[in-house]
């Protein structure tokens, strides 16, 4: 009894010692595990059933704002077609076909393909182009090259009516012309803001390619602000909308029906059997903002007057900038002053100067100087700031009207077989530069009529040398290499030997004028 009572006192079972063993129920630990697995299984089954039931109503993941905007704004083919039709309906009636008769002089014409002589004297030939009505009372915009030599101009409207046209004014520098027909109440093409044009914008080109009137082609803006050799005043809009001969003078319009350019140039990949180049996806239009300004001046005065300075300038590249002690692209380099009676010539500006500002405005590129000078009224005075031999200088110039026949000039070097009577014999070899040079004496300087009375006279240029590649010729007198003055052949050799590999500007006097070639040393 004592043992039994002791067990009871400690909370243990009080069964007799000889009683059979009793099976205990499953412990609480295993019970929890089983219940947990059961509940988890039920949750998974229910989740799968709900996912299947609601699969059709689930929302897709949201696109980033930028991607969503692109996706939502992309028109369908049908919507794009409707947009094109609306634009065409807005502009088409203002587009005209221009037929011209030109008078050409064949007095000096050669024989034709079959070896037969061509008719002599003035002859007439026909040409064609496009244009668009700018005002209700008959003023029409087109290209200068369409009507340039025309003795007769006929304009055909969209409804087939034909009118004789007179030239109001033309501007060869931008290839823009204005003609007029005597009628009123015409549909007008509205000029837009070409500064708003961006790459990728849809555009339509309208005109009469190959004489096929009222032709419309579509494409996008490939590039803006193109500067081409065709004009130093235009910044062209490039497009892949097909433009062909006959499209010249026609409008390039945006999707609001606004004219953002005049079709004027194409690049061709070859010649067709008609002898005219075809479109290869690269066409150019004169920006409408330039057109607007020229149109106003031509209608008012019949011509466009632009200020003229009279300098030839090139970008300030690394070699020329180093010689001037400036950063590349921080100014423009005067490569020549062709006319001593030009405003620049009279003011003492000369080749080798580096122009930094015009009328207080910084100049960093040739185009910037051109635009500033052209925009300055003829007859007004302007201040030109420049560097010469490292010293800051300025000059006041009185601008004149730009001559019509001014074109970019290339100064041809003297003939290698020119007069060398004043060339002394003997000299010093400049191996790295590739010239054979001799020190200029006072007597030589007098006979050669040098502006600078010292230097190294080039007697011979090695073929394929650095000097030959830079265009240095025998008879040239080298006065400076980079920033180092050269007064003898020995100084020339020393200056060249101290230069690291790279490009350097040198100052050369050639037949009474200074030129500034750039040499590349290895």
pLDDT at 504 over 90: no
pLDDT at 86 over 50: yes
pLDDT confidence bin for 8, thresholds 50/70/90: very low
Selection from 50-64, 247-261, 474-488 with the highest mean pLDDT: 247-261
**pLDDT tens digits for range 339-370:** 788 899 899 998 889 999 999 999 998 888 98
pLDDT confidence bin for 209, thresholds 50/70/90: confident
pLDDT of residue 9: 35
pLDDT of residue 355: 94
Tokens representing 506 are: 């040198």
Which residue among the candidates 208, 222, 231, 248 is catalytic per the annotation? 248
* Burial class of residue 367 in the structure, from the number of CB atoms within 10 Å of its CB (0-12 exposed, 13-18 middle, 19+ buried): middle
Judge whether 344 and 396 are in contact, CB under 8 Å.
no
pLDDT of residue 191: 92
CA distance 147 to 170: 9
Whether 38 is a known active-site residue: answer no
CA distance 35 to 28: 11
**pLDDT tens digits for range 399-413:** 988 776 443 222 223
| CA-to-CA separations, 450 to 341, 350, 422, 437, 509, in angstroms, rounded | 21, 15, 12, 16, 7
pLDDT confidence bin for 389, thresholds 50/70/90: confident
Mean pLDDT of the region 206-223: 88
**pLDDT tens digits for range 490-499:** 888 888 888 8
SS3 of residue 81 by DSSP: helix
Judge whether 264 and 239 are in contact, CB under 8 Å.
no
pLDDT confidence bin for 272, thresholds 50/70/90: very low
pLDDT of residue 436: 79
pLDDT at 177 over 60: yes
Buried b / exposed e over 127-137, threshold 16 CB at 10 Å, is: bbbbbbbbeee
pLDDT of residue 82: 85
**pLDDT tens digits for range 66-84:** 444 445 567 788 888 888 8
Whether 248 is a known active-site residue: answer yes
Which residue among the candidates 93, 130, 145, 454 is catalytic per the annotation? 145
Which residue among the candidates 175, 353, 476, 482 is catalytic per the annotation? 175
**pLDDT tens digits for range 119-165:** 565 667 788 899 999 999 999 999 998 998 888 999 999 999 999 99
Mean pLDDT of the region 187-197: 92
Judge whether 249 and 225 are in contact, CB under 8 Å.
no
CA distance 283 to 221: 10
pLDDT of residue 73: 65
Judge whether 479 and 509 are in contact, CB under 8 Å.
yes
Residue 488 phi/psi, 5° resolution? -155, 165
**pLDDT tens digits for range 284-336:** 999 999 899 899 999 999 988 888 898 888 889 888 888 888 999 899 999 88
Query: How many angstroms separate the most distant Cα atoms in the chain?
Result: 155
Helix (H) or strand (E) holding 491: helix 489-497
Length of the chain: 522
Whether 476 is a known active-site residue: answer no
Mean pLDDT of the region 258-268: 85
């Amino acid at each position: 009894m004592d043992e039994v009572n002791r067990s009871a006192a400690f909370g243990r079972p009080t069964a007799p010692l000889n009683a059979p063993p009793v099976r205990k129920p499953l412990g609480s630990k295993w019970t929890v595990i089983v219940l947990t697995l059961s509940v988890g299984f039920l949750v998974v089954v229910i989740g799968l059933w709900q996912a299947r039931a609601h699969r059709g109503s689930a929302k897709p993941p949201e696109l980033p704002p930028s991607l969503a905007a692109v996706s939502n704004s992309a028109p369908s083919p049908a919507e794009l077609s409707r947009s094109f039709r609306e634009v065409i309906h807005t502009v088409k009636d203002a587009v005209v076909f221009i037929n011209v008769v030109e008078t050409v002089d064949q007095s000096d014409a050669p024989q034709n393909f079959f070896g037969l002589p061509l008719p002599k004297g003035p002859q007439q030939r026909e040409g064609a182009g496009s244009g668009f009505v700018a005002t209700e009372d008959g003023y029409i915009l087109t290209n200068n090259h369409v009507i340039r030599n025309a003795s007769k101009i006929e304009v055909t409207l969209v409804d087939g009516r034909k009118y004789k046209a007179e030239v109001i004014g033309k501007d060869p520098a931008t290839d823009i012309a204005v003609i007029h027909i005597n009628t009123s109440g015409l549909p007008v093409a509205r000029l837009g803001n070409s500064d708003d044009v961006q790459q990728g914008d849809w555009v339509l080109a309208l005109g009469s390619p190959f004489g096929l009137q009222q032709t419309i082609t579509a494409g996008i803006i490939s590039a803006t602000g193109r500067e081409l050799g065709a004009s130093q005043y235009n910044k062209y809009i490039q497009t892949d909308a097909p433009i062909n001969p006959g499209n010249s003078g026609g409008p390039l319009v945006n999707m609001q029906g606004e004219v953002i350019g005049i079709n004027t140039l194409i690049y061709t990949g070859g010649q067709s059997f008609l002898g005219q180049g075809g479109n290869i996806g690269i066409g150019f239009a004169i920006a409408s903002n330039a057109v607007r300004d020229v149109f106003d001046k031509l209608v008012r005065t019949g011509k466009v007057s632009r200020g003229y300075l009279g300098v030839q300038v090139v970008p300030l590249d690394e070699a020329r900038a180093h010689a001037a002690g400036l950063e590349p692209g921080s100014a423009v380099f005067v490569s020549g002053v062709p006319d001593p009676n030009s405003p620049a010539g009279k003011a003492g500006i000369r080749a080798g100067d580096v122009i930094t500002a015009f009328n207080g405005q910084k100049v960093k590129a040739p185009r910037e100087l051109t635009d500033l000078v052209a925009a300055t009224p003829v007859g007004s005075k302007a201040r030109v700031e420049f560097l010469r031999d490292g010293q800051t200088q300025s000059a006041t110039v009185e601008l004149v009207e730009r001559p019509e026949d001014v074109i970019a000039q290339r100064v041809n070097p003297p003939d290698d077989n020119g007069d060398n009577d004043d060339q002394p014999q003997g000299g010093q070899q400049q191996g790295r530069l590739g010239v054979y040079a001799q020190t200029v004496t006072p007597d030589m300087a007098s006979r050669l009529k040098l502006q600078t009375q010292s230097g190294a006279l080039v007697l011979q240029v090695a073929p394929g040398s650095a000097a030959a590649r830079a265009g240095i010729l025998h008879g040239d007198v080298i006065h400076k290499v980079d920033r180092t003055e050269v007064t003898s052949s020995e100084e020339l050799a020393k200056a060249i030997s101290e230069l690291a590999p790279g490009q350097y500007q040198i100052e050369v006097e050639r037949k009474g004028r200074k030129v500034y070639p750039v040499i590349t040393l290895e």
